[in-house]
Structure 1
Amino acid sequence: MSIPVVTVGESQEDLVGGLERLHGPVTVVRRCGELAELLAACQSGLARAAIVAAGSQDLTASLVDRLGAVGVVIIALTDSPEERLRLRGIGVTAAPSTVESTDLAESIAEAVSRHAGIGRAGPGPGAAPVCSTGFADSAAALHPEPVDAETDPPPAGTGKVLAVWGPAGAPGRTLVAVNIAGELAATGKSVLLVDADSYGASVAGVLGLLDEAAGLAQACRLADQGLLNREALLRVAVPVAATAGTFRVLTGITRADRWTELRAAALALVLDRAREVADVIVVDAGFCLEADEELSFDTMAPRRNGATLRSLEMADTVIAVGSADPVGVPRLIRALAELEGSVPGISPDVVLNKVRASAVGRSPERQLREAWERFAPTAGIKAFLPWEPDTTDAALLAGSLLLETAPESRLRSAIAELVCASAQQKRRSSVFASTARRRRTG
């Protein structure tokens, strides 16, 4: 198999001549004068691999991701161990500038073969319970660790990603995501809550956080440059101390027009790093799944919904939230079909929120289940969350979780049962009940 290669920059040795003298599968088809020319050549379909002999500091995760989308892998030459570590973190194969032509050709062939194998495999989210048996193993190997002869790849994180998603119409995604994070933290798990909604981030407001720094945007910028480590991630994540446990939050963008800061490749690196610092990463995802086909002619253009799509692709479990009313249920059914088309193989847990007799009639859960079985996809309804506006309003006014403002409420219990085993839920309920009694009698 012939591997066409484009290069940019001058190496200490005659890079092109050395590869050509091998008479092997690697063929240099163009020498580029600058990185922009190399990118244009790659996007035109001219090459399968790109060698950056100089200027590797200009490479970012977003750039690597977009070139990967057109089937091009990047090999960068640098003598700096720190730079090789950074490059590896954003998905670039790194080698010293004095690398032998034979070794370089082998690295190119291995990188191309590895990329082709990943393209065929694709990602696939799991759908296992959280607190009882754990999440299913994720197959989202979208960003493999490149080969680096000098440095062993870092161990992969074991944290699991739970994405909370739902269609347009305010079905209560953020309410569910925030309180899931609180319930998991109450069990003693380390939890990171990520506000990845690029249209209407609201986690900070729900929790009463006076944060204008957009922690997720900061983390994505660091990840895009290959500079996001454990310490940096923990530094930009805001700690939230609740009565029963503490979790951290990566707050969302403060304005919708900042969506370009949430590049899919950078967010993927953030979630990968988050797996190393938290047992569970709860992602409040945006609603829109459009693939921005109108931008497909320019593969380097950012995707407005890339953050949502990448979150769902990388999630071990997806909770799909819909409003339990004559408008919300059909909307959720249509959205689930769209979700299946956008992320093939996904199997979300369906949750109907704001369940009330005034919207669907007597015995609302029975009515909703019968309607769902008649018109909806094969997936059943995992949970019904009751409509308690006074309870949610009180929590929102206090900037607190339901387990603090209304620990005995049916809504809080339903959310807790959604992510925790029944035995654990009973133990926690008794603890909260004792706490509430102490407060009343104190």
Structure 2
Amino acid sequence: MEKLLIIDDDSGVQKQLKWSFSDYDVILASDRESAIAAVRRYEPKVITLDLGLPPDEANASEGLAALQEILAIAPHTKVIVITGNDDRTNALKAIAAGAYDFYQKPVEPEVINVIVSRAFSVAAIEEENRKMRAVAGSDMGVIGNSASIDRMRMMIKRIAPTSITALLLGESGTGKEVTANAVHLASDRKKKPFIAINCASIPETLLESELFGFEKGAFTGAHKTTKGKIECAEGGTLFLDEIGDMPYNLQAKLLRFLQEKCIERLGGRQEIPVDVRVICATNQNLEQMVQEKSFREDLFYRVSEITLNIPPLRDREEDVLILAQYFLQQYAAEYKRNVKGFSEDGLSALKNHKWPGNIRELQNKVKSSVIMSTGTQVTAMDLGFFDHEDQGYELSLNLRAVREQAETLAIQKAYALSTGNMSKTAELLGITRPTLYSLVEKYQLTIN
């Protein structure tokens, strides 16, 4: 049972509250000294505090002093102050000092129960968010606490000190470049360059010169000798992403570089020695491509001296929440938003989604949710999960309210789907940008 500390010098009120809170493990204290002792011993998450404590029952000085001391010892504790009927000034002082909420006498069990229950819920959510923040700062930039990620971190630490060529396999969006950079950072090459190149994003005619460089006059437009990515990575690490998309005729030249550790620029005749650690990645089945003769067998064995399989996000258990909290902190700071964590339905939606787009999809959803959120906690709706069962959406019978709800929901959904691009949002909604901005202003939506 959750521990609830009740601080009140009136034994009658103590009994009434203890009877009201039968679902909790109630601890009683009647003055500041016994209250502080109870806080240290039991570490309650929620406390009710009567500001009129002895020896100054008529005023709030002793209660406010107790509040200050409690929060100094346990700053995350939710303290609900209880004041007299006409003592609103001291109640506001307590809130300013860090109290969670206040309640004015006389005590009504139903009302105080709701306030206490809500305080426990908020305390639980904040505790989970703090745990996620603590784990999020994992070493080497590989964020997570699941067994599969722990195994991968162990492999990274083992291969990093060597010069072995590694092949990273994983679905799109699983963080292959982050993993490659982690190998680089854990190696003795970390002070040298980490150069990444996507073999699928560069036209076949340009990829060779991009990798190996070219001499002046090698082709039309080659006005000066230019180093390629391999030379630029001297002493460091070269990451070849989407190696499966490398043109077949260029694979032989890459194989020679990997075997001989030297290159020739386009239009050149001089062999240039290079000291570069190579890491490759793909989301394709290279073994099948070898059988289909679209990927060289000798190159496959050369780039896969050791293979790391990066697990998809759906198989990483609690890492979804850890990564979500990490991205939330990052974008809250970037966009200057007062967003602290996720609501209960937000956490539930994050856990239940299958994440076909993996970490990239999660990152985009959290980014748009930080922009969309109007409170300190991100909800399922902010994340773009508009059909989540826990969102508690109720349709009003007032036609004006119905229209406002529907239009607000449509704008938020389109904004989330377009990852914050207003032109795409307007296009999805079938309206012009000025009309979209007019609706945003009308409904006071928080959109950048």
Higher strand share: 1
Fold match by TM threshold 0.5: no
Return the structure number with greater relative CO, CA threshold 8 A, min gap 6: 1
Q: What TM bracket, shorter-length normalisation?
A: under 0.3
User: TM-score when scaled to structure 1?
Assistant: 0.25
State the structure with more CA Rg.
2
Q: TM-score, normalised by structure 2?
A: 0.25
